[in-house]
Amino acid sequence: MSTTYLTIVNHVLRRMRENEVSNVSTNNYSKMVGDFVNDAKKEVQNAHDWSALRSVVTVSTSSGTSEYSITGSKEDPKIISAINDTQNLFLTYQTPVWMDNAYFNTDAPSGAPDTYTFNGIDENGDVKIKLYPTPDATYSLRFNLVIKPSELSSDTDTVTIPYLPIVHQAIALLARERGETGGTTSAEYFAIANKYLSDAIAYDAYQHPEEFIYNVV
pLDDT digits (tens, 9 = 90+) for 171-202: 999 998 887 655 567 788 888 898 889 889 88
Give me the pLDDT at residue 216, please.
Answer: 42
* Entry pTM: 0.82
Contacts (Cβ under 8 Å, ≥6 apart) of 178: 16
Please give the Cα distance from 140 to 101 (Å, whole number): 26
79 pLDDT higher than 60? yes
CB 49 within 8 A of CB 146: yes
147 pLDDT higher than 70? yes
Please give the Cα distance from 83 to 155 (Å, whole number): 38
- pLDDT tens, position by position, 99-127: 888 777 677 789 999 999 999 999 999 99
* CA distance to 15, 78, 105, 192, 201, per residue, from 164 (Å): 12, 23, 54, 11, 12
Give me the pLDDT at residue 151, please.
Answer: 95
211 pLDDT higher than 70? no
Mean pLDDT of 194-216: 73
Domain locations along the chain? 3-49+161-210, 53-146
Please give the Cα distance from 2 to 53 (Å, whole number): 12
Mean pLDDT of 73-94: 94
